[in-house]
A and B are shown apart, each in its own frame.
Chain A
Amino acid sequence: MAESSRIRLLGEGWFGGLAVQVALLGAVLALWYVLVVGFDVPEWQLPTPARIFGSMVNDFTTIAPHLLSTSRNVLLGFFISVALGLSLAIVIYFNAPVGMTITPFINLMCIIPLITIVPLLMLWLGFGNEAKLIAVVLQSFPIVNLNAFASFSNVDPLRLELMQSLKATRYQTMRCCVLPDAMPGIFTGVKLAAILALIAEVTSEIVGGNTGLGAQIIQYTQYMKMPQAFACVFYTALFGALFHQSLSFIERQLVKK
Chain B
Amino acid sequence: MSKIEMRGVSKKFMARREELLALCDINLRVEEGEFVCIVGPSGCGKSTIIRIIDDIIKPTAGVVKVDGVTYDNSLPIPRELVRKMGFVFQTSNLYPWLTVRENICLPLKIFGLRGREWAEYADFLIDRAGMAGSADQYPRSLSRGMSQRAGVVRAMVHRPEILLMDEPFGSLDERTRERMNVELLDIWRESGITVIFITHNISEAVLLSQRAYIMAIDPGRVIGDVEIRLKRRDLSALSDYHFVEYCDYINRSIGSIGLEKAI
A interface residue numbers (CB < 8 A to B): 158-159, 161-168, 172, 176-177, 180-181, 183, 255-257
Contacts and interface: CB of A to CB of B under 8 A. Distances in A.
Given A165-B54, A166-B110, A167-B77, A180 B89 contact: no
B106 interface: yes
A159 B55 CA distance: 15
B106 A161 contact: no
Given A166-B107, A166-B111, A167-B79, A161 B97 contact: no
Contacts of A162: 87, 89, 93, 106
B97 A257 contact: yes
A161 B110 contact: no
Contacts of B89: 158, 161-162
Contacts of B93: 158-159, 161-162
B73 interface: no
Contacts of B70: none
Contacts of A158: 89, 91, 93
Interface string B75-89: 001010010010101
A254 B138 CA distance: 14
A203 to B, nearest CB: 37
Contacts of A255: 97
Interface residues of B, number: 23
B97 A166 contact: no
Interface string B97-110: 11000000011011
Contacts of A257: 96-97, 138, 140
Nearest to A254: B97
B82 A166 contact: yes
Interface string B212-238: 000000000000000000000000000
A162 B107 CA distance: 9
Contacts of B98: 180
Given A158-B93, A162-B93, A256-B138, A167 B82 contact: yes
13 contacts: A158-B93, A162-B89, A163-B110, A164-B55, A165-B87, A166-B106, A166-B107, A166-B111, A172-B110, A181-B95, A181-B97, A255-B97, A257-B96
A161 B88 CA distance: 11
A176 B110 contact: yes
